């Protein structure tokens, strides 16, 4: 567990012999030199020593979700201020906005009050994400500009506290539900999609034209949860068929028997196509599509070429699935 940090203290130890032992004591062994310099320059703007800049979490990483925040500070009500650090003068603003939107997604699950900022120490520019998700920039190179900035006023009024282990607050287990292992939690909706999963899902749900599409996903990114959640959403107003690349497991059989899911193993699916007995549906998800033979891919291409169905081949990200004839979801 990383310990909270006083940013003034951290900045004061930059370029001193005491820096490494201090960072080691706090568990900040992975912090980079440019981040320390960014913190130091930001702290230098706070001339008012009554603003303590205490109880900051530096480099907090959500376990098993691959999500890291440069700086987080919370108050007793778990309201959150997030500050990201950049050190490249021409850093892409689209990337800044994308990162802050991702941060907002995760932080909004623990509190309704979130303030998001990015500080570029090379340009001395402060970025903030507005309530309308617009990126707003403020040049804080002059003292007066900094004192007039919303960021300064927010920091002045914020009463930070040490909330202990952030893992307990973020409840990262909600992102790790498996439809096969935690079936009850899945069916009750007791889970959260990661920001990356949501982005992939948006792309799938935005498909308007019929056709065969390919999406390559890493199993470590919660592929199964995202696909099954997408099917749950679509089933409310669409006819959806799930095709599995192997034999059905016990949970899939249960979904089919007890909850009305349409699920077929790949062999039965192909047989129905050949016999022209496949029921008309709006969406077809073919999971483990990397296991499809070239022959079956040809059958899919020819059969659905003139159909009004949206077929999504879900493949492993490392697969060599031959998909040049199909549309790719990126």
Closest CA to 52 of 75, 18, 27: 75
Instruction: Indicate if the pLDDT at residue 173 is higher than 80.
Output: no
pLDDT single digits (tens) 185-229: 999 988 888 888 888 899 999 998 999 998 888 766 688 999 999
Range list for CATH 3.90.1570 in the chain: 7-172
Pair of tokens at residue 213: 């599409």
Whole-number average pLDDT of the chain: 90
What one-character-per-residue DSSP string does 65-118 give?
A: TTEEEEEEEEETT--EEEEEEE--TT--HHHHHHHHHHHHHHHTTT-S-EEEEE
Based on the number of CB atoms within 10 Å of its own CB, is 75 exposed (0-12), middle (13-18) or buried (19 or more)? Answer: middle
pLDDT single digits (tens) 1-17: 788 999 999 999 988 88
Task: Quickly count: other Cβ atoms within 10 Å of residue 259's Cβ.
Answer: 10
Query: What is the 3-state composition of the chain as percent helix, strand, coil, each rounded to the nearest 5?
Result: 40, 20, 40
The hierarchical CATH code for the domain 177-328 is 3.40.50.300
What percent of the chain has pLDDT above 70? 95
Give the pLDDT mean for 297-317: 88
Q: CA-to-CA distance for 273 and 277, rounded, in angstroms?
A: 6
Distances (CA, A) of 100 to 94, 97, 195: 10, 5, 11
What percent of the chain has pLDDT above 90? 63
Q: Are 329 and 215 in contact (CB under 8 A)?
A: yes
Give the model's pLDDT for residue 79.
94
User: Looking at domain 7-172, which of 3.90.660, 3.90.1570, 2.20.25, 3.60.21 is its CATH number?
Assistant: 3.90.1570
Q: CA-to-CA distance for 156 and 132, rounded, in angstroms?
A: 24
Closest CA to 223 of 281, 282, 170, 179: 179
More confident residue, 23 or 79: 79
More confident residue, 320 or 281: 281
Dihedral, CA of residue 142, residue 133, residue 226 and residue 272, to nearest 10: -140
Give the pLDDT mean for 81-91: 96
Range list for CATH 3.40.50.300 in the chain: 177-328
Instruction: Indicate if the pLDDT at residue 275 is higher than 90.
Output: yes
Q: Read off the pTM.
A: 0.75
Instruction: Indicate if the pLDDT at residue 109 is higher than 80.
Output: yes
Q: Tokens 């889970």 label which residue?
A: 191
pLDDT single digits (tens) 46-69: 988 788 899 999 999 887 777 899
């Amino acid at each position: 567990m990383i310990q909270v940090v006083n940013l003034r203290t951290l900045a004061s130890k930059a370029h001193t012999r005491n820096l490494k032992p201090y960072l080691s004591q706090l568990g900040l062994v992975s912090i980079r030199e440019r981040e320390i310099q960014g913190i130091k320059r930001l702290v230098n703007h706070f001339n008012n020593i009554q603003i303590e800049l205490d109880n900051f979490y530096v480099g907090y990483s959500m376990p098993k979700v691959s999500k890291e925040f440069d700086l987080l500070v919370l108050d007793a009500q778990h309201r959150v201020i997030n500050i990201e650090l950049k050190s490249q003068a021409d850093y892409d603003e689209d990337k800044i906005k994308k990162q802050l939107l991702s941060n907002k997604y995760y932080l909004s699950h623990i509190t309704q009050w979130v303030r998001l900022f990015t500080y570029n120490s090379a340009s001395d520019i402060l970025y903030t994400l507005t309530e309308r998700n617009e990126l707003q920039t403020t040049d804080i190179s002059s003292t007066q500009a900094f004192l007039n900035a919303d960021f300064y006023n927010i920091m002045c009024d914020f009463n930070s506290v040490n909330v202990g282990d952030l893992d307990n607050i973020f409840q990262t287990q909600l992102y790790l539900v498996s439809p096969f292992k935690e079936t009850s939690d899945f069916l009750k909706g007791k889970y959260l999609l990661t920001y990356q999963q949501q982005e992939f899902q948006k792309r799938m749900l935005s498909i308007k034209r019929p056709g065969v599409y390919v999406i390559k996903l890493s199993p470590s990114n919660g592929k199964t949860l995202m696909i099954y959640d997408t099917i749950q959403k679509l089933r409310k107003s669409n006819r959806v068929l799930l095709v599995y690349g192997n034999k059905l497991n016990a949970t899939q059989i249960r979904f089919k028997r007890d909850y009305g899911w349409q699920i077929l193993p790949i062999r039965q699916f192909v047989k129905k196509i050949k016999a022209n007995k496949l029921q008309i549906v709006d969406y077809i998800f073919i999971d483990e599509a990397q296991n499809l033979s070239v022959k079956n891919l040809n059958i899919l291409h020819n059969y659905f070429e003139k159909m009004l169905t949206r077929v999504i081949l879900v493949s492993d990200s490392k697969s060599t699935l031959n998909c040049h004839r199909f549309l790719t979801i990126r």
